[in-house]
Amino acid sequence: MSVLSCSTTSIERPAPAPPAPPPDIPPALLAPCAPMPLATDSRVPHLLLINDRRMAVADDCAKRQAALADAVREQQLIAWDWYCKAAQLAGVRVDGCPERAR
């Protein structure tokens, strides 16, 4: 009785590295909005000054919130991109991948 054996050698190619993670969200974008200044005097010049200061605080807060929303959206797109590409490399069909991740 004779035993034959054969072997096949397959070369596995490593999967490409996923995209680099997005930069950390700057701590200033994660900080709560500054407290609104309160009027301590009922005279009109003081009230106008306090109103200007309150508008500056609100404007700064709105700009930081918009920048934070942009940063979160970017991180979500990168996470989807990584997920969809990993699924594609694994041969798994995934519905719901954003257009950018395809």
**How many angstroms separate the CA atoms of 102 and 25, rounded?**
25
Pair 98, 76: CB distance under 8 Å: no
What 3-state DSSP class applies to 40? Answer: coil
pLDDT-derived band at 82, boundaries 50, 70, 90: confident
Going from N- to C-terminal start, the domains of the chain cover: 41-94
Q: Is the dihedral of CA 41, 44, 46, 51 positive or negative?
A: positive
Taking only the tens place, the pLDDT of each residue in 1-53 is 555 555 566 677 776 666 666 667 888 888 899 999 999 999 999 999 999 99
Taking only the tens place, the pLDDT of each residue in 51-66 is 999 999 999 999 999 9
